[in-house]
């Protein structure tokens, strides 16, 4: 047999096998485990070399063309996914959920901590829109924070999970993006057992260890990702009722803490809490006589109520999920609205942390409008940006159930992401009025996150990949300000005042 033919055939087989292996890297990274981008590059180069050598030998032309085209398409696809696709090395599509973080005081080696911090930084550098311009001020600020926190770790032989969590968050918080942050996934969490009793009393949590939450936030702002203080203050208050997060805040829970409680008359009292008063969730329920069966029966994320006295329908949406359940609920509500001649419809997104903005489009289908404006957005793909500008979207109306009355959106400081976009779309399109508190984030800001887990500590991270622009770019307001501002607890009372009977 001709040695040249044997050699050529060998490179043909090698090119095919390596190309198949390269193609498998994409589903492996998406669904099973992270594949380093360097491995992708090496295998693509190896397949290319084998293909070139094969094509230079003696073989049929059609085989050379077929192999080159077939291989080339796969190589380009893998290079795109590995080096430009924001979800590479992410946890978004993984079939197996990452394990929980070790205990907050578990000590990682310096090498492990640096590996996690480096991964966290490389991901935000590769994905976040603000990090695309390496000469920009945001890039320089984030990189400086990363180098500072890396130096902190380099000075230690071992680092606890909470110490690492603080380092990562001090890098991410410099972006001032509420969608980009990190959070350890601890198990066996200990909660302050008196939370329910305090919340049921005339007092509420106001501060800790002699500092109000507002003053404490000034000291700990670099440990939170937020755009409005109200968002961070709620998170901060929640952190102070858990042992692990008290440690994260460096409040030394082992020594006990002193809570500041405040009532409606601005009277402040103090309450001591010893480490023994922090208990597991099961012990918390038992101590407070909470029915765990009732607790386990979750309420639907979407529901509605009809108030015929005020000619009002209120759609309550606790998360933005544009699924069959949501669409069926909309249809049922607007069917009843038509049958009973209801003149006012309100969407309650108080406490809604977001989800899919398509819930807005589905809602608008029941309104008598021909079209509406959407936000524009730019998605980062490595060094490139793909702009999505849809200035006007046709409204595919459900004509048999069209509503022509008054539309309201009810908001508070925990209306976030897509739950902020709901009032934005209604307000900026002149469709209705907003009642309540300014939502949590900037309509011209970042979002649409990629989820990751750090390799050793398993700290969960979220990184924005999209830069949004508000519909009404001429608005003098940075945030979506309510037309009728009021406290969250007074929203329904304010709504009744503006309902048409």
pTM (two decimals): 0.91
Q: What pLDDT sits at residue 8?
A: 65
Q: What is the DSSP string of 358-378?
A: HHHHHHHTTBS-SEE---EEE
pLDDT the model gives residue 58 = 65
Q: pLDDT digit of tens for each residue in the chain (501 aa)?
A: 444 444 566 777 877 888 888 899 999 999 999 999 999 999 989 888 877 777 776 666 766 677 678 888 998 999 999 999 999 999 999 988 888 999 999 999 999 999 999 999 999 999 999 999 999 999 999 999 999 999 999 999 999 999 999 999 999 999 999 999 999 999 889 999 999 999 999 999 999 999 999 999 999 999 999 999 999 999 999 999 999 999 999 999 999 999 999 999 999 999 999 999 999 999 999 999 998 776 555 789 999 999 999 999 999 999 999 999 999 999 999 999 999 999 999 999 999 999 999 999 999 999 999 999 999 999 999 999 999 887 799 999 999 999 999 999 999 999 999 999 999 999 999 999 999 999 999 999 999 999 999 999 999 999 999 999 999 999 999 999 999 999 999 999 999 999 977
pLDDT at residue 4, as a whole number: 47
- Looking only at the bridges linking them, the beta strands covering 344-348 and 312-317 are parallel
d(C-alpha 306, C-alpha 462), whole Å: 38
pLDDT of residue 57: 67
Q: Spell out the alpha helix ranges (H) of 57-136.
A: 61-83, 110-127
**How does 252-272 read in b/e, with b if 16+ C-beta sit within 10 Å?**
ebeeebebbbbeeeeeeeeee
- Among residues 182, 165, 184, the alpha carbon closest in space to that of 458 is found at 184
The pair phi, psi for residue 241, each rounded to 5°, is -105, 10
Can you tell me the distance from the alpha carbon of 111 to that of 158, in angstroms, rounded to the nearest whole number?
A: 9
C-alpha to C-alpha distance for 328 and 427, rounded to whole angstroms: 25
Sequence-separated (6 or more) residues with CB below 8 Å from residue 159: 107, 108, 109, 110, 113, 153, 167
């Amino acid at each position: 047999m001709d040695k040249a033919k044997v050699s050529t055939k060998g490179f043909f087989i090698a090119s095919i096998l390596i190309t198949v292996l390269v193609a498998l890297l994409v589903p492996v990274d998406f669904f099973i485990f992270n594949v380093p981008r360097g491995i992708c590059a090496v295998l693509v180069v190896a397949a290319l070399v084998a293909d070139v050598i094969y094509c230079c030998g003696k073989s049929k032309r059609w085989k050379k063309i077929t192999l080159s085209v077939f291989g080339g398409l796969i190589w380009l696809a893998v290079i795109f996914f590995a080096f430009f696709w924001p979800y590479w090395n992410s946890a978004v599509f993984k079939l197996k959920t990452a394990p929980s973080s070790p205990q907050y005081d578990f000590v990682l080696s310096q090498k492990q901590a640096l590996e996690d911090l480096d991964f966290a930084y490389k991901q935000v550098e590769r994905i976040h829109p603000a990090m695309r311009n390496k000469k920009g001020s945001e890039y320089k600020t984030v990189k400086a924070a990363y180098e500072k926190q890396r130096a902190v770790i380099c000075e230690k032989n071992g680092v606890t999970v909470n110490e690492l969590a603080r380092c990562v968050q001090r890098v991410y918080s410099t972006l001032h993006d509420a969608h980009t942050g990190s959070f350890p996934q601890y198990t066996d969490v200990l909660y302050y057992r008196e939370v329910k009793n305090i919340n049921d009393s005339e007092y509420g949590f106001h501060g800790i260890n002699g500092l109000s939450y507002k003053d404490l936030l000034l000291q700990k702002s670099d440990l939170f990702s937020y755009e409005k203080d109200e968002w961070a203050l709620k998170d901060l208050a929640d952190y102070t009722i858990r042992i692990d997060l008290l440690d994260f805040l460096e409040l030394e829970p082992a020594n006990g803490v002193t809570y500041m409680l405040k009532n409606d008359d601005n009277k402040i009292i103090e309450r001591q809490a010893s480490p023994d008063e922090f208990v597991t969730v099961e012990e918390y329920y038992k101590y407070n006589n909470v029915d765990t069966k009732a607790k386990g029966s979750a309420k639907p994320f979407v529901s509605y109520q009809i108030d015929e006295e005020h000619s009002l329908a209120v759609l309550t949406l606790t998360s933005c999920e544009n699924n069959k359940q949501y669409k069926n609920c909309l249809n049922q509500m607007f069917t009843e609205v038509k049958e009973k001649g209801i003149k006012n419809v309100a969407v309650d997104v108080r406490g809604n942390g977001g989800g899919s903005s398509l819930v807005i489009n589905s809602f608008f289908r029941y309104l008598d409008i021909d079209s509406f404006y959407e936000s524009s957005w730019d998605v980062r793909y490595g060094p490139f940006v793909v702009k999505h500008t849809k200035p006007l979207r046709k409204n595919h109306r459900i004509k048999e159930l069209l509503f022509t009355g008054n539309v309201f959106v009810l908001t508070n400081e925990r209306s976030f992401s897509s739950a902020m976009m709901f009032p934005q779309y209604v307000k900026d399109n002149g469709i209705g009025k907003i009642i309540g508190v300014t939502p949590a984030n900037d309509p011209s800001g970042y979002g649409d996150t990629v989820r990751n887990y750090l390799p050793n500590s398993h700290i969960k991270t979220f990184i924005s990949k999209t830069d949004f622009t508000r519909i009404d770019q001429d608005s003098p307001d940075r945030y979506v300000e309510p037309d009728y501002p009021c406290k969250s607890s007074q929203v329904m009372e304010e709504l009744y005042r503006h309902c048409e009977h």
